[in-house]
Amino acid sequence: MKKVVKFGGSSLASAEQFKKVGDIIRKDPSRRYVVPSAPGKRFSDDTKVTDMLYSCYAAAVKEKKFTELLDKIKERYQEIIDGLGLDFSLDEDFDIIRVNFSKKIGRDYAASRGEYLNGKVMAAYLGFEFVDAAEVIRFNDDGTFNDVLTNELLSARLADMENAVIPGFYGAKEDGTVVTFSRGGSDVSGSLVALAVNADLYENWTDVSGFLIADPRIVKKPKSIETITYKELRELSYMGASVLHEDAIFPVRKAGIPINIKNTNAPQDKGTLIVEGTCRQSKYTITGIAGTDGFVAITIEKAMMNSEIGFCRKVLQVFEENNVSIEHMPSGIDTMTIFVHKDVFEEKEQKILAEIHKAVNPDHIELESDLALIAIVGRGMKSTRGTAGRIFSALAHAHINVKMIDQGSSELNIIVGVRHDDFKNAIRALYEIFVVTQI
């Protein structure tokens, strides 16, 4: 058994957290490759080291004094080193960083130092070898990620290593220029390491016991999801649920490596297992509920629309040419409705409407803003009758008017559109019927 373990910022924010991580790794010798994030927040209004680095570098670029801020960052690491009782120093590394900041070497380099330094501390603490991600995670000259070369470099480098610490979030171009993934990108690094060593499991350790069935800011203490498929996860994250960086899924999914989301502060909890396929039934008919606010619906009406060949294409082309992405498109016999994000659509609204008029000469166009979309996702829906019925009766009981319904042909999800004011109540009503009362 070979596991890759990635620890998020809150799991490594202090010496105390580091100790929990050390215990977790030592408890299971198959946890051989460790991918750390930079130290995160120790308390709710603390600042993540990555954000401190961005600010510090911004000051350096503006030729402002930055050494004080850099010293503050150094203190964060020193506190961890002292708390762990390590005989280890980052003095030389900070000297190099100071020089590179004055040379304005790059914003990505600056941000990446959070993971780089934390990786060094982690390697010293565990007695594992340190592998600089700049040497094994490769970006092309145009800044895009090179998955093929990365996999070659990483697997060759780790092939004979029993254990290693590989910092998350960054890599480099051939010439050594450091490039980072987008924020939260250590999840992606962990996934790449898991693929390269052909791990049996990718454990992603964070501060929650896996994915929750619904957003805890809306539903009080929602239950967590034990097993979820990649497809279900994709549907839920598309609708706004977030725990894992979206790009972290692709490398491991390709290799059939499951991801286990675990909680550093409650390692005994099972967490959520993300798999390609499973015969395990989910506990409830649904796996999760997620939603996003801030949509506009544009309904285009024209008699005999259905027999007018090319009608949809012409309408869609208007959106394409205005660079507006379409989220959903339910249609009726003489109507088609297009859901778009309000903030993108708003500024181009009049231009788009004029162009639709010109393109298809509709009888009527109606706009409705302040809409929210809610996805009810679950592999179990396929084999259960009456799911849609339960959804609508739950919403009707909660006096919520459904503005739109969309069921994908995969029967993996049902999406409903509701007014912004009903958004939270709708999610609560759905959680109640599928998870709490289960009627």
Instruction: Give the Cα separation of 184 and 164 in Å (integer).
Output: 21
Match 């003489």 to its residue by tokens. 334
Instruction: Give the Cα separation of 63 and 202 in Å (integer).
Output: 42
What binding mask, one character per residue, do residues 123-162 give for ligand ASP by CB under 6 A, x or -? ----------------------------------------
- Residues that contact ligand ASP, how many (by CB under 6 A): 12
Instruction: Give the Cα separation of 202 and 223 in Å (integer).
Output: 23
What binding mask, one character per residue, do residues 88-127 give for ligand ASP by CB under 6 A, x or -? --------------------------x-------------
What binding mask, one character per residue, do residues 163-192 give for ligand ASP by CB under 6 A, x or -? -----xx-------------xxxx------
C-beta closer to ligand ASP: residue 115 or 232? 115
- Quote the least distance from Cβ 381 to ligand ASP, whole Å: 33
Q: Could you say which of 14, 37, 237, 272 contacts ligand ASP (CB under 6 A)?
A: 37
| Nearest one of 387, 381, 391 to 416, comparing CA atoms | 391
Under DSSP, is residue 295 helix (H, G, I), strand (E, B) or coil?
A: strand
Instruction: For residue 48, state whether it binds ligand ASP (rule: CB under 6 A).
Output: yes
- Quote the least distance from Cβ 50 to ligand ASP, whole Å: 4
- Which residue minimizes CB distance to ligand ASP? 186
Instruction: Give the Cα separation of 298 and 45 in Å (integer).
Output: 41
Instruction: For residue 9, state whether it binds ligand ASP (rule: CB under 6 A).
Output: yes
- Quote the least distance from Cβ 194 to ligand ASP, whole Å: 15
The strand pairing partners of 337, in sequence order, are 299
C-beta closer to ligand ASP: residue 55 or 322? 55
C-beta closer to ligand ASP: residue 50 or 264? 50
In sequence order, what E strands does 343-383 have? 364-377
| Nearest one of 286, 291, 289, 225 to 434, comparing CA atoms | 286
Instruction: For residue 38, state whether it binds ligand ASP (rule: CB under 6 A).
Output: yes
CA distances from 5 to 212, 259, 261, 266, 279 (A): 21, 10, 10, 16, 26
- Quote the least distance from Cβ 185 to ligand ASP, whole Å: 5
CA distances from 274 to 243, 252, 259, 412 (A): 12, 10, 5, 16
Q: Which residues lie near ligand ASP (CB under 6 A)? A: 9, 37-38, 48, 50, 114, 168-169, 183-186
